[in-house]
Amino acid sequence: MKLKVREPPYTVHIGRDLLREAQISARPGPKALLYDRAVEAFALKVAAALEIPHRLGIPGGEAAKTLEGYRAVLSWLAGLGVPRDATLYVVGGGTLTDLGGFVAATYLRGIAYVSWPTTTLAVVDASVGGKTGINLPEGKNLVGAFHAPAAVYADLEALRTLPPHTFKEGLVEAFKHGLIAGERALLEPFALSPTHPELGAYLARAVAVKIRVVEADYAERGERRKLNLGHTLAHALEAATQHAFSHGEAVAYGLLYAALLGRALGGADLTGAAARLLAWLEPRPFPDLAWEALEPFLARDKKKRGGEVHWVVPLALGKLVVRPVERRVLERTYREFLEVVR
């Protein structure tokens, strides 16, 4: 499947055996490859198919997405003397594509990059939207740039070596896209596996939602903030626990909290769907965390404007509002939330 992104124009390829497709539309100019060591075998296939001479394998995960990781990749490119007309290929999960995209956005003030996302999360979330970036000790994604890839190749073969839990976690974002766009098919990821014949179609549907939301934002400022559904609590949870939770787990918890918030604010009851997602995901248990302990991390959430945290609240399937919420409502809802997850 090919999904077209319009602004800037590029194509997201989703399917099996994309190496040949990538060879046909190979980019001219020098090439370098940054990859996650966890998918080294697949990365080396990409390097061989596209004849990429320079390769750097690093450990993935949040540890990659730091100023130290940023420095290491920049020094590698600068040491090789990689020029401005080069393309950086990035093979790995979301942390690698975020890091690699930010390096590409800023090395020599910007070079091209092509991403080969190798996790469900990276396919659904990181391949569209142009957001790149790294974390600071003070919080996630506090540094970055908007820099769209020249192309995205989501080869389902690369997903076969994913740990089953990680495979599921990425589909949490697809589920989120289902809530945002009101697409019921996306709320039923429960039967999927790396070899399931419908996986490509499911992922493509989820990516298509993101493309629509991101493109709508060129007209309607703020539309894109809907993608933050479930993420305000998720980011705070990750920060408050020093990333004891994976992103997918944190977002799944965040979606349940958002659903409870929607119900508390008079919206439809979406808590059943969110609870089913959590039951299927089997995340690490929610920690013993008081609202007061989460709050400082909420205040740091970068979506904050004018001193207030804006929450994305689902009022019905496909209908969201982005708004500040009174502290007492947030706190009461958090108590309800704790009752459900404990």
Q: b/e string for 243-252 if b means 16 or more Cβ within 10 A? A: bebbbbbbbb
* Residue 80 Cβ vs its own copies, minimum distance, rounded to whole Å: 9
Catalytic: 243? Answer: no
Task: Round to whole Å and give the CA distance between 69 and 58.
Answer: 9
Catalytic: 131? Answer: yes
* Amino acid at position 178, single letter: G
| Residue among 140 and 168 whose Cβ is closer to its own copies | 140
* Residue 328 Cβ vs its own copies, minimum distance, rounded to whole Å: 22
* Residue 69 Cβ vs its own copies, minimum distance, rounded to whole Å: 12
Given 4, 20, 109, 221, the catalytic residue: 109
| Residue among 146 and 218 whose Cβ is closer to its own copies | 146
Catalytic: 157? Answer: no
CA dihedral (8, 13, 19, 21) in degrees, to 10, reads: -80
Task: Round to whole Å and give the CA distance between 59 and 135.
Answer: 16
Catalytic: 228? Answer: yes
Task: List the beta strands (DSSP E) in 127-267.
Answer: 131-136, 139-146, 151-155
Given 55, 140, 224, 310, the catalytic residue: 224
Chain centroid to Cα 160, Å, comes to: 19
Catalytic: 221? Answer: no
Q: Which residues contact 46 (CB under 8 A, 6 or more apart)?
A: 19, 22, 33, 35, 52, 89, 91, 116
Given 210, 226, 263, 310, the catalytic residue: 210
Question: How is residue 176 written in tokens?
Answer: 């989120």
| Residue among 142 and 191 whose Cβ is closer to its own copies | 142
| Residue among 67 and 268 whose Cβ is closer to its own copies | 67
Catalytic: 339? Answer: no
Residue 84 CB-half CA count within 13 A: 3
Judged by the rule CB under 8 A, the positions of this chain that interact with its own copies are 29, 67, 70-71, 74-75, 78-79, 81, 83-85, 102, 105-110, 131, 133, 136-139, 142-146, 299-300, 302-307
Residue 303 CB-half CA count within 13 A: 22
Given 62, 169, 173, 238, the catalytic residue: 173
Catalytic: 231? Answer: yes
* Residue 199 Cβ vs its own copies, minimum distance, rounded to whole Å: 31
Given 247, 249, 263, 310, the catalytic residue: 247
How many Å from the N-terminal Cα to the C-terminal Cα in the chain? 41
* Residue 176 Cβ vs its own copies, minimum distance, rounded to whole Å: 20
Beta-bridge partners for 92: 117
Catalytic: 173? Answer: yes
Question: How is residue 336 written in tokens?
Answer: 């309800």
- Enumerate the active-site residues: 109, 131, 173, 210, 220, 224, 228, 231, 235, 247
